[in-house]
Amino acid sequence: MHGFASLLALRTLQSHKVGRYFPLVIAVAGFLYPLTGGIVTSALVAWVYKTGNFEMESYVAFLWGGGQAFLLFIISFTRIPATL
């Protein structure tokens, strides 16, 4: 979604003096937010398992990662119509 928005903004703002740099901001935010959010939530889940002395099987880690990706998609999708 962020890639599409960046390409569209790049196409429409290429002749604008300051606006031509906004696609770069959109692309960086599109990669930076999921990366940092994924690191923080994964570290939090690992901390809870570690302090609770639980063992995490490989399929459980897969489910946590899939759930995080799904929730990130839902949150990102619902924020877009709110900005329109």
Q: Could you state, in order of their start, the residue ranges of all structural domains in the chain?
A: 2-83
Give CA–CA dist 30/33, Å, rounded.
6
- Residue 51 pLDDT: 93
- Residue 24 pLDDT: 76
The 10s digit of each residue's pLDDT in 16-75 is: 777 777 777 777 777 787 788 788 888 888 899 899 998 988 888 889 888 888 887 787
Give CA–CA dist 35/17, Å, rounded.
30
Q: What token pair was written down for 23?
A: 């696609």
pLDDT above 70 for 83: no
Q: Is the pTM of this model over 0.85?
A: no
- Residue 58 pLDDT: 85
Which among 43, 44, 31 is positioned nearest to 72, based on CA atoms? 31
